[in-house]
Amino acid sequence: MVKNDVKVLGAWPSPYVMRPRIALNIKSVNYEFLEETFGSKSELLLQSNPVHKKIPVLIHGDKPICESMIIVEYIDEVWTSGPSILPSDPYDRAIQRFWAAYVDEKWFAAMKGLRSAQGEERKAFLDQVTEGLALLEEAFGKCSKGKAFFGGDRIGLLDIAFGSFLGWLKVTEKLNGVKLLDEAKTPGLVKWAERFCADAAVKSVMPETEKLLEFSKVLAAKMKGAPPPKN
Amino acid sequence: MAEEVVLFGVRGSPFTCRIEIALKLKGVQYKYINEDLDNKSPLLLKYNPVHKKVPVLVHNGKPVLESLVILEYIDETWQGYPILPEDPYERATARFWAKFIDDKCFPAIFKSCWGEEKEREKAVEEVSVVLKILEDELKEKKFFGGENVGLVDIVAVVIGFSLGVYEEAARVELLNKEKLPRLCNWIDDFLSNSFIKESLPPRDKLIAYLRNYYRSDNASK
């Protein structure tokens, strides 16, 4: 396979960018990683994703595919000789997609809220994050059925969706002085997180927590430079 | 074993409507249960404890949640009419536009009619931008799905039906016929489809309901 045939436009700190990279690794597909410069958008990005101008973008041949979870499903459907990322049963697929959507739309939204919130608002977001993790702990029990991952013996769609946020979860724990994944409250997820981060498909693309922590400070400084929000 | 398909929904909600369209296109027999969102049934809360929302599709006792997830489930479970195309790139494209409609179009349409007063003007501008993007995506096709109604068309009930209803109910103009000729043609074709027509709630009743439910104190609009 020609290496240039598959490209991923992205940036190392982004959990969304990790997702297609993990998927491509699962399928043993070689790809070129084109890193965007922080603070600016390349011509290629603007051309490939004119609607949202966001990373990640998968470029397969000359076709751009956008939106991280849509890219993951595309990868699963194109490279059928590798291990499956989605289960074959429609109901199991629906469960994986449901929780992946929950992680993005509800749980990570609360995590992002936590980043900039103060006082009472901060406590409210923290509660939402913790409640979300309790739901995900329960979902893990049901989905894994005693196996290593949400996807069973191997990493699947929901593992990718949720696992890609583990780096930022650790940063949030450090910045807020809290333990979000906890042996007492979320024992299943604690062990799952270790296995996920150690997996061959994930290791090379999961950023080190220290590097992310440094980056989060750069990000915070940039956000402070923006004009204050209107109330 | 006899198959049991139950749909929990709210008449008038475009999200419920999507599921009815899909089930009808597939020729699936189903039982419809209408929910009162101010007084949710114990059954709904049992099937959707996380979000407590409609629509919920219960297939042989197992609940499927979130309209986009349900649409994919319906396509994968029942053969016959294809909701998604076969080609992976076309599927990715369909999913992209479905998500665009849900993430960008519907919230702007809703806010411009029923949002906080101070947010409405900005939302109206946003609607103009996103509808133009859809207009451009339609190109020369009859439907977003090509010759026939597909995933994006089903999801776009919020534009094909809800948009016009909200415009009339809130007395807001959102659809500029000169700027969006293709989209207007698409709306006509959409509303002419027999399965879609069967799935839509009575228009006048919905307008009256919306005006009453979102009764606002400002007389200027």
Q: Which of A66, A78, A97 sits opposite B72 (nearest CB)?
A: A97
Intervals of chain B under pLDDT 70 = 1, 216-221
**Chain B residues whose beta carbon lies within 8 Å of the beta carbon of residue A135:** 50
Looking at the fold, whether A198 and A100 belong to one and the same domain comes out as yes
Q: A96 and A204 share a domain?
A: yes
B71 touches chain A (CB under 8 A): no
Query: Within a domain: residue A54?
Result: yes
Query: Alpha helix locations (H) across chain B?
Result: 14-26, 42-47, 67-77, 88-100, 106-114, 117-138, 151-155, 157, 163-170, 181-192, 194-199, 203-213
What is d(CA B135, CA B129) in angstroms, rounded to the nearest whole number? 10
Report the pLDDT value the prediction gives residue A224, as an integer from 0 to 100: 74
Rounded to a whole number of angstroms, the distance from the CA of B76 to the nearest CA of chain A is 6
* Whether residue A70 is found in the same domain as residue A99: no
Residues A192 and A97 in one domain: yes
Distance CA B92, CA A74 (A): 6
In a domain? residue A72: yes
Q: How far is B204 from chain A (nearest CA, A)?
A: 33
Indicate yes or no: CB of A97 within 8 angstroms of CB of B91: no
In a domain, A102, yes or no: yes
User: What stretch(es) of chain B map to CATH 3.40.30.10?
Assistant: 5-77
Residues A207 and A109 grouped into a single domain: yes
| Rounded Cα distance, A2 and A8, in Å | 14
Question: In whole angstroms, what is the distance from residue A11 CA to residue A19 CA?
Answer: 12
Give pLDDT, residue A157: 98
Interface touch A74/B92, C-beta < 8 Å: yes
Nearest to B69 among A60, A73, A98 (CB): A98
CATH of residue A202's domain is 1.20.1050.10
Question: Does residue A222 lie in a domain region?
Answer: no
Q: ipTM of the predicted structure?
A: 0.94
Pair of tokens at residue A85: 């990322």
* Contacts A65 to B, Cβ<8 Å: 89, 92, 96
Q: What's the N-to-C CA distance of chain A in angstroms?
A: 54
Number of A to B CB contacts under 8 A, please give it: 55
Same domain, A140 and A188: yes
Q: How many domains does chain A have?
A: 2
- The C-alpha atoms of residue A52 and residue B186 are separated, in whole angstroms, by 24
Q: Which residues of A touch B72 (CB under 8 A)?
A: 93-94, 97
The answer to whether B59 contacts A91, with C-beta atoms less than 8 Å apart, is: yes
User: Which residues of chain B form CATH 1.20.1050.10?
Assistant: 88-215
Same domain, A97 and A43: no
Q: Are residues A203 and A134 in the same domain?
A: yes
What's chain B's Rg over C-alpha atoms? 17
Mutate to test the interface with B, among A51, A79, A142 (most CBs of B within 10 A): A51
Contact B99 A93 (CB under 8 A): no
Using CB atoms, pick whichever of A63, A65, A97 lies closest to residue B69. A97
Site of tokens 């929302």: B53
pTM of this structure: 0.94
B57 SS3 class:
strand
Q: Distance (Å) from the C-alpha of residue B99 to the closest C-alpha of chain A?
A: 9
CA nearest neighbour of B149 among B199, B215, B212, B207: B199
* The predicted structure's pLDDT at residue A176: 87
A220 inside domain: no
- Rounded to whole angstroms, the Cα distance separating B206 from A46 reads 41
Of A27, A57, A78, the last residue of a domain is A78
User: How confident is the model over B111-151, as pLDDT tens digits?
Assistant: 999 999 999 999 999 999 999 999 999 999 999 999 999 99
List of chain B residues whose C-beta atoms are within 8 Å of the C-beta of residue A133: none
Task: Give which of B202, B200, B196 is closest to B81, Cα–Cα.
Answer: B196
Contacts of residue A56 in chain B, CB cutoff 8 Å?
none
Mark the ranges of chain A whose per-residue pLDDT is less than 50. Answer: 1, 230-231
CB atoms A94 and B92 under 8 Å? no
- Does residue A113 share a domain with residue A66? no
Give burial (CB, 10 Å; 0-12/13-18/19+) of B142.
Answer: middle
What is the model's pLDDT at position B20?
A: 98
Q: Which of A12, A45, A78 is the last residue of a domain?
A: A78
Among B72, B76, B99, the residue with its CB nearest the CB of A67 is B99
Do the domain assignments include residue A230? no
**A84 falls within a domain:** no
Q: In this predicted structure, what is the pLDDT of residue B221? A: 41
Residues A98, B65: C-beta atoms closer than 8 Å? yes
Residue A47 lies in a domain: yes
The verdict on A113 and A35 lying in the same domain is no
What is the rounded CA–CA span in Å between residue B160 and residue B188? 8
- A98 contacts in chain B (CB < 8 Å): 64-66, 69
Contact assessment for residue A154 and residue A2, using Cβ atoms and an 8 Å cutoff: no
As given in the structure block, the two tokens for residue A186 are 């979320």
Q: What is the CATH number of domain B88-215?
A: 1.20.1050.10
Yes or no, beta carbons of A73 and B89 under 8 Å apart: no
Nearest residue to B130 (alpha-carbon basis) of B166, B167, B158, B94: B158
**pLDDT score, position A118:** 84
SS3 track for A96-137: HHHHHHHHHHHHHHHHHHHHHCCHHHHHHHHHHHHHHHHHHH
Residue A164 domain boundaries: 90-211
For residue range A12-29, what is the model confidence (pLDDT) as tens digits? 999 999 999 999 999 999
Domain containing A25 — which CATH number?
Answer: 3.40.30.10
Assigned CATH topology for domain B5-77: Glutaredoxin (3.40.30)
